[in-house]
């Protein structure tokens, strides 16, 4: 019991430390002497400066404006506006500006500080990594046995048809930019007839 009482008394010796309010040096409007004035917290602005007898007067930022830091400015900052091909990621509040990101299908290029449309992988290439609001599309060459016959920012390479598994003959072997062409016996006769007619014409 005595130990708990001693511990309690010891705690009372050290009151809780309060975080000091940031200040700035102002001038007393009457005497002209320097005075230390409190800054206004984020989300507010300085409505009236302090004096030797009164503290700083702060007011909330009106809608459409903000302050992010402790300050002594006479008006809040105007909220930003998202640029071309951007959408609002986070709305502006009294203590933070709005945050923007590129709209769907676009990415932010830091070199030019603009949003550009995701690149499309051309035929013969597939999408290794789809684009995000921060990064462009990453393409790769279709490996052997696969193909892509369109330009796309989303489609991956597709396996060639296996003609033999379907009981068909391979008329044209697939490449990176087109699929294999298969045909049955009747279709092969037509192809053969057409080839002969072209040859003897």
Q: Please give the domain boundaries of the chain with CATH numbers for all domains.
A: 21-102 (2.10.50.10), 108-187 (2.10.50.10)
CA separation for the pair 186, 171 (Å, rounded): 13
Confidence of residue 196 (pLDDT cuts 50, 70, 90): very low
Give, in order, the Cα–Cα distances in Å from 21 to each of 5, 40, 75, 131, 174: 34, 9, 20, 45, 73
The three-point CA angle 174-178-183 to 5° equals 55
Confidence of residue 110 (pLDDT cuts 50, 70, 90): very high
Confidence of residue 193 (pLDDT cuts 50, 70, 90): low
pLDDT given at position 185: 80
Does residue 9 carry a pLDDT above 60?
A: no
Does residue 122 carry a pLDDT above 70?
A: yes
Confidence of residue 189 (pLDDT cuts 50, 70, 90): low
CA separation for the pair 173, 188 (Å, rounded): 15
Does residue 197 carry a pLDDT above 80?
A: no
Q: Once rounded to an integer, what is the mean pLDDT over residues 118-145?
A: 97
Q: Which of 142, 143, 140 minimizes the C-alpha distance to 129?
A: 140
Does residue 65 carry a pLDDT above 70?
A: yes
Query: Per residue in 25-61, pLDDT tens?
Result: 999 988 889 999 999 999 999 999 999 999 999 999 9
For residue 121, what are its two tokens? 């992988």
Q: Of the ranges 1-15, 67-81, 99-113, 122-136, which one carries the lowest mean pLDDT score? A: 1-15
Confidence of residue 90 (pLDDT cuts 50, 70, 90): very high
Specify whether the CB–CB gap between 33 and 50 falls below 8 A: no
């Amino acid at each position: 019991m005595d130990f708990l009482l001693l511990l309690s008394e010891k705690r009372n010796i050290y009151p809780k430390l309060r975080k000091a309010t940031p200040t700035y040096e102002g001038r007393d409007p009457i005497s002209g002497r320097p005075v230390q004035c409190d800054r206004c917290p984020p989300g507010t602005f300085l409505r009236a400066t302090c004096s030797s007898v009164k503290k700083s007067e702060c007011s909330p930022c009106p809608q459409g404006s903000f302050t992010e830091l402790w300050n002594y400015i006479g008006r809040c900052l105007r909220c930003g506006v998202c640029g071309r091909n951007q959408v609002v990621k986070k709305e502006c509040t009294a203590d933070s500006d709005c945050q923007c990101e590129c709209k769907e299908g676009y990415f932010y290029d830091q070199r030019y500080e603009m949003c550009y449309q995701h690149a499309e992988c051309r035929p013969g290439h597939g999408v290794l990594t789809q684009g995000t609001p921060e990064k462009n599309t990453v393409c790769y060459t279709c490996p052997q046995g696969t193909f892509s016959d369109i330009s796309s920012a989303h489609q991956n390479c597709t396996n060639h048809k296996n003609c033999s598994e379907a009981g068909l003959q391979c008329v044209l072997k697939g490449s990176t930019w087109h699929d294999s062409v298969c045909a049955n016996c009747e279709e092969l006769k037509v192809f053969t007839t057409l080839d002969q007619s072209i040859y003897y014409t």
